[in-house]
Structure 1
Amino acid sequence: MNEKSEKVLEQYDIGIRRMTRGRGGIILSTDKGYKLFIQCEKADKYYERENRITSLLSKVGYSCTDTYMRNNEGGLISEDEDGRKYILKNWYDAKESSVRDEDDMCRAVVAMAYMHMALRQITPQMLYADNEASQGAGIIYTGNGVYTKDNKNTDNNANYNANIKDSENIKDNDYPDNRNGQDIRDNNYTDSIRNNKNMEDNDYIDNIRNNKNSQNNNISNNIYTEKGIYIGNDLYTADYQYSENNIYTKNNTAKRKQGKPSELAACQKKKETDLRSVYSKHTRELKKAYNYLKQKKSRQLFEQMAYKNIEAFYEEACRACERLMSSTFNERLERAAQSMELSHGSYTYHNVLIDGKDTFVVNFDRYKNECQINDLYQFIRKVMEKYNWESRVFYRLVDEYDRICPLSDEEMELLMVLLSYPEKFWKIINQYINANKSWIPDKNVEKLRKVIDQNSRKRELIDKICCVW
């Protein structure tokens, strides 16, 4: 940090005690807690967008995120004398979760489930309309792990820390490798999760779900009609109007304008999320790479390995895409779009911080309107790659998530279809196609070899769980 950037910190009402480099910026120990000071590398709108979602999460009670701190003038972004821009985030004295620690991964997936419950409280009009009019549904999730339906933290409420202790007490032998030979065709896997006697009941979670005072605890509470979406007692349609005085109106109630009129209207009219189009695009890119490698005469080691295996992986991609495009998932993906279901968009173990009993989720800059199962899929896929697709680890992660946010049969099937897609192979090949092909790093060869070697283990796990094909 240079002298000029240090002067920017004078624009904030904080007293700095210590500064250390980390997380792409400077971590500050101040009289108001830990802060993260970062130089802006994107347009202002990206930071404003992230601030909007973290602020809304805080309003609905989910406070264990990296919210923004405004400067003395109330601005989100501060500048130095040379015009360089900076932001300041509220941060934590916590370590990044370790993928080598199963307990850390279980805590991360539980934190994801609670995050998803909080994101479900954020309605389209909260995201695009006046933030001052946004009201939370009363769920409180604080830094020390308390998750309640009140605006107070009480000792009588069950908390997230107890859930973590439950997961830590589960021994490895509670997850037999073959689930006693269960087959999803004969025994519903999600039912077996919920009835697992090795998992301790969490009465408080049931209380949350059965709380009659909660309007929007689950997406399923929303009612979809030809007129629009009923969330609680309110009807939301695409018929939003803006007056000449920039007043946002709905049902003759005036509110200050926030965001573009087209944003809210577009989200109401959206037929489904982008999940299907993303994987269709990936599959086309695999086909393009296959054609390129096929006509290439002289091949390096990486290209030889890729060409030898790309046809099989391409066929897997086509089968997964065909299943994803089926009508089975129409309702779930349409519901995700129409209710403006939000996902983190980049939920990896790098973005989960752990400090003792506390767990924090950071970096919401890639949040998007997408089925939340995509978050779970991306997280499980990356963890399973580190554990060589060991079935015991998979069962444990899914059980932990399902205990907080029950998975429907449709969602479980969607998860398995996504896992069956060769995304890691596509990522490596696509990176190769878009890079300089004259020299291929040895690490890319090792990555490709690992994906190829692990694929049979991955297929065995998927076929055993749900026999998709």
Structure 2
Amino acid sequence: MYDYGLSTLEQYSLTVLSTARTRGALLCRCEEGLFILKEFKGTEKKLKKQQELLEGLSAAGCRVDRYLPNKEGNLVSRDRDNIPYTLQFWYEGRECDTRSEEDILRSVRTLAQMHKYMKLPLVQDYMEPSLEDIYQRHNQELRKIRKFIRKKGASCQFEKLYLATVEDYLEKGDMALGLLRDSAYSKLRQDVTENGWICHGEYNQHNVLMIRKETAVTSFEHWGFDVQMADLYRFMRKILEKYNWDVRLGMKMLSAYHKEKSISEDEWQNIHIRFLYPEKYWKLANYYYSHNKAWISEKNTQKLKKLTGQKEAWQNFGAKCLENYPF
């Protein structure tokens, strides 16, 4: 019988009071505190570096979901079916509410505070790919999808809308790539190499927990060595899409980060270029191309309509919010 990792708890020096299933995990209330038990799907080599990162953040006063070693000192424990699990410190709190400006700005400040301490000696295996390579590949994929639809003929709303809009978005993609090549991006990458700066990799509202006046950050599994503006950009983009690219809110988010951790002129230029690239457009196109084309998701079509409807606001955001450094 599948025990959801319960049998692994015997391998820890804990007094378990109760357990409850939660999203993809088991919440464990113990005399020693609150923990979360999850099936482990990564590599133990990277996990050890992640634990080193989390312990450093914890020592700096950041609330993070560091791992609890078992009695043998291992971060991974196997249950009776030999399935690997990890046990992490957890927190009683609620996710960041994207409808709350206070929560949004608090999350940005927390990210900036963490970024000061998010560094380790570089491990080349965990260096994130070059943004230049990513943009070049994405632009090629947009052209490939355009060619595919033209050849077979646009037969649904998504394909017709894609062909009607792709030229403009491709132009934006090519422009962003050109600006990136002419920018100080290689200098920023060199700074990452020399100082070991790290990104969370998936910093979003689901991974930020509000605990009264404190904030905890979870789910560092996608961490990697990268220009830290990548984290700030990802969080801001997802929020701003919900707010139709509100310039006022964007400025507040940038200011909140800058007050905690100064954004250099090169970093400012980098995040500006990231906002110029049509990433969400590429994501929708890539989803279409990599899934069953005999049935096109209506949800994906609606997302494309919404995205193209926000194009003017998106372009206006870059021009008004990020043209001049700083603010």
TM-score (norm 1): 0.65
The correspondence of residues 149-188 of structure 1 with structure 2, limited to 5 A, is none
Tell me the equivalent position of 1:250.
none
Q: Looking at CA atoms only, which structure, 1 or 2, has the larger radius of gyration?
A: 1
Matched, 1:356 2:212: yes
Tell me the equivalent position of 1:428.
284
Most deviating of 405-414 and 316-325: 405-414
Tell me the equivalent position of 1:449.
305
- Percentage of matched positions with identical amino acids: 30
Q: Distance in 2 between matches of 1:4 and 1:385?
A: 37
Tell me the equivalent position of 1:301.
157
Deviation at 1:386, TM superposition (A): 0.7
The correspondence of residues 314-333 of structure 1 with structure 2, limited to 5 A, is 314-333=170-189
Distance 1:466 1:112, change over 3 A: closer
Distance 1:5 1:377, change over 3 A: closer
Q: Distance in 1 between matches of 2:86 and 2:19?
A: 16
Tell me the equivalent position of 1:7.
7
SS of 1:313's partner is: helix
- Paired residues of 1:324 and 1:417 also in contact (CA < 8 A): yes
Where in structure 1 are there 5+ consecutive unaligned residues? Answer: 129-262
SS of 1:440's partner is: coil
2:236 maps to amino acid: I
Where in structure 2 are there 5+ consecutive unaligned residues? Answer: none
- Paired residues of 1:53 and 1:364 also in contact (CA < 8 A): no
Q: Distance in 1 between matches of 2:182 and 2:289?
A: 30
- Paired residues of 2:120 and 2:198 also in contact (CA < 8 A): no
Structure with bigger helix share is: 2
SS of 1:325's partner is: helix
Q: Distance in 2 between matches of 1:383 and 1:319?
A: 24
SS of 1:18's partner is: strand
Matched, 1:52 2:52: yes
1:86 maps to amino acid: Y
2:5 maps to amino acid: S
From 327, 339, 348, give the equivalent of 2:195: 339
1:120-150 Cα distance to aligned partner (Å, 9 max, x none): xx341xx66xxxxxxxxxxxxxxxxxxxxxx
1:38 maps to amino acid: K
1:102 maps to amino acid: E
Q: Distance in 2 between matches of 1:77 and 1:332?
A: 35
- Number of corresponding residues: 324
Matched, 1:38 2:29: no
Matched, 1:381 2:237: yes
Tell me the equivalent position of 2:24.
24
- Paired residues of 1:273 and 1:371 also in contact (CA < 8 A): no
Matched, 1:70 2:69: yes
SS of 2:263's partner is: coil
Tell me the equivalent position of 2:250.
394
Q: Distance in 2 between matches of 1:49 and 1:302?
A: 43
SS of 1:70's partner is: coil
Deviation at 1:73, TM superposition (A): 1.8
Deviation at 1:46, TM superposition (A): 4.4
- Paired residues of 1:16 and 1:31 also in contact (CA < 8 A): yes
Q: Distance in 2 between matches of 1:309 and 1:66?
A: 43
Deviation at 1:17, TM superposition (A): 2.2
Deviation at 1:467, TM superposition (A): 4.7
Deviation at 1:340, TM superposition (A): 2.1
Tell me the equivalent position of 2:108.
109
- Paired residues of 1:290 and 1:311 also in contact (CA < 8 A): no
Q: Over the residues paired in the alignment, what is the CA RMSD in angstroms?
A: 2.2
1:210-241 Cα distance to aligned partner (Å, 9 max, x none): xxxxxxxxxxxxxxxxxxxxxxxxxxxxxxxx
Deviation at 1:58, TM superposition (A): 3.0
Q: Distance in 1 between matches of 2:287 and 2:218?
A: 26
Tell me the equivalent position of 2:145.
289
Deviation at 1:364, TM superposition (A): 1.2
- Paired residues of 1:341 and 1:370 also in contact (CA < 8 A): yes
Distance 1:298 1:321, change over 3 A: closer
- Paired residues of 2:202 and 2:220 also in contact (CA < 8 A): yes
Tell me the equivalent position of 1:94.
93
Q: Distance in 2 between matches of 1:361 and 1:283?
A: 33
1:56 maps to amino acid: G
- Paired residues of 1:273 and 1:334 also in contact (CA < 8 A): no
- Paired residues of 2:138 and 2:282 also in contact (CA < 8 A): yes
Tell me the equivalent position of 1:80.
79
- Paired residues of 1:27 and 1:37 also in contact (CA < 8 A): yes
SS of 2:5's partner is: helix
Q: Distance in 2 between matches of 1:336 and 1:43?
A: 23
